Amino acid sequence: MINRRRYAAGLLSMLAALTMLGAPPAAADEPTTKEPPKVELVLDDSGSMRTADIDGRSRISVAQQSFDEVVDALPDQTQLGIRVLGSTYPGNDKAVGCQDTRQISPVRPVNKTEAKTAIATLRPTGWTPIGLALRAAAKDLGTGETTRRIVLITDGEDDCAPPDPCDVARELAAQGTHLVVDTLGLTLDDKVRRQLTCIASATGGTYTAVQSQNQLTGRLDQLVHRANDTYQETPQQVSGTEQCASAPILAPGVYADRERFAEHRWFRVPVRPGQELRASVSVALDRALNPDYGVLLRATAQDGRELVRGTDAGSGRTDVLSAGLRWSDQGAPATPTASPSPSGSAPNTVCLVVSNSFSAQTAAQPAPGMPLELTVDVVSSSAAPHGPDLGRGWALLAMLAVVGLLAGLLTGWLARWRIAVWKEN
């Protein structure tokens, strides 16, 4: 007994020593720290925000309440800043009023009490220098690898140009600083809509016309969370084509494009035998649409044969539609592409096509197209799961025959017994 105990203790000691020697340092397995999402809220505090036409309340009070609710639900990792315009100068000197923009909370992990207090103390005052405020907000957010997001809430068009806010948006997009501007309009004025749509379109953002408290809160919350959920990797701009033969070839990554109503956008992805293609697409619904629409993502061969498809449909209750697919090349004949395979086996070219069944409401403009984000990955294919079955071969067939025979004999015996009992009675 003593020898057995000594043997067990020695074996455990050897296993522990091997585990310690073989274990890599913990730091080697730690993932690279990603930059936190950064968002700046730009709020119009000009004199027109005193207008009481949203749920019977002033526009500024509706915006303040929405902001409070969004801050309470803010993801911990999101860094949020606040900039206002038209908040300090009540006079008529345009030269002075059009310089009136200030940051009331820097871009940083949010102190919710301070942020809500800063917004609560605002009183509608002056002019509307949107272009200047956007340029300043971009500086507040700085530069980095992940996409920054500005959310502009206003009830009017810029009355201080130059700089024209649409030109500023194009300027910021051209700088390559990964900046997206989403706009929320608190009025249905057509001039305001055109300007805010232009700002959003220039930077790959979205425009929304807000008509109620709940709509503003919900949309603002979606945009703030999208900075955290969507842009951990900055999408690369790409332009799909009208046919596969001329479509851009995509490597694994995240891509951004735009698609008009009822359009097809084609892309190509090389997939080698033994690999699996995984792709998904999300389309932002940035304008009013007629109900009952859908998004379709298909993978086809170059000769037009459909390999697999993924669909999604909506009725107007969401701001994003998504679809995804998976396809494995299990040894299909290779089709040479322009890019030779370093491993010696030529990849097949799979055509990805994004389609939609959108139709715009009367007031919505079809151009520019809807923002779409396409994610592509190519990995080693996993074994396809087998369908449910009972087995294979002659042994199974014989077993089933015996079971069937026994079941038949038992059923016949029970039937004869019941008849005999019935005759006796």
pLDDT digits (tens, 9 = 90+) for 82-97: 999 999 999 999 999 9
Kind plus residue range of the DSSP H or E element containing 130: helix 130-141
Can you give the pLDDT at residue 416?
Answer: 80
Is the pLDDT assigned to residue 297 strictly greater than 80? Answer: yes
pLDDT greater at residue 64 or residue 146 = 64
Q: What percent of the chain has pLDDT over 70?
A: 78
pLDDT digits (tens, 9 = 90+) for 386-425: 444 444 456 666 777 788 788 878 887 887 877 877 777 6
Q: Is the pTM of this model over 0.75?
A: no
| Burial letters 42-54, b for 16+ CB under 10 A, else e | bbbbbbbbebeeb
Q: 309 falls in which pLDDT band (50, 70, 90)? A: confident
pLDDT greater at residue 150 or residue 179 = 150
Query: Beta 320-328 vs 179-185: how paired, if at all?
Result: unpaired
- Own/partner pairs for 51-57, CB < 8 Å, 24+ apart? 51/155, 54/186, 54/210, 54/211, 54/212, 54/213, 54/216, 55/212, 55/213, 57/213
pLDDT digits (tens, 9 = 90+) for 347-391: 789 999 999 888 777 666 667 777 888 989 998 876 554 444 444
pLDDT digits (tens, 9 = 90+) for 226-245: 777 554 566 788 999 999 99
> In the beta sheet, which residues pair with residue 321?
283
Number of H helices, E strands in the chain: 9, 17
CATH fold of the domain at 38-229 = Rossmann fold (3.40.50)
Is the pLDDT assigned to residue 30 strictly greater than 80? Answer: no
Calculate the average pLDDT of the chain: 80
Can you give the pLDDT at residue 4?
Answer: 45
CATH architecture type of domain 236-337+345-380: Sandwich (2.60)
Can you give the pLDDT at residue 395?
Answer: 67
The token pair that represents 396 in the structure block: 């199974």
Can you give the pLDDT at residue 261?
Answer: 85
DSSP 3-state assignment of 213? helix
Is the pLDDT assigned to residue 66 strictly greater than 90? Answer: yes
Is the pLDDT assigned to residue 216 strictly greater than 80? Answer: yes
Domain boundaries, the chain: 38-229, 236-337+345-380
Can you give the pLDDT at residue 286?
Answer: 67
Nearest CA to 367 among 263, 265, 261? Answer: 261
Nearest CA to 267 among 290, 292, 237? Answer: 237
pLDDT greater at residue 84 or residue 316 = 84
* Helices 59-72 + 213-229 axis angle, to 10: 40
CA distance 355 to 300: 13
Residue with tokens 């220098």: 129
Can you give the pLDDT at residue 262?
Answer: 84
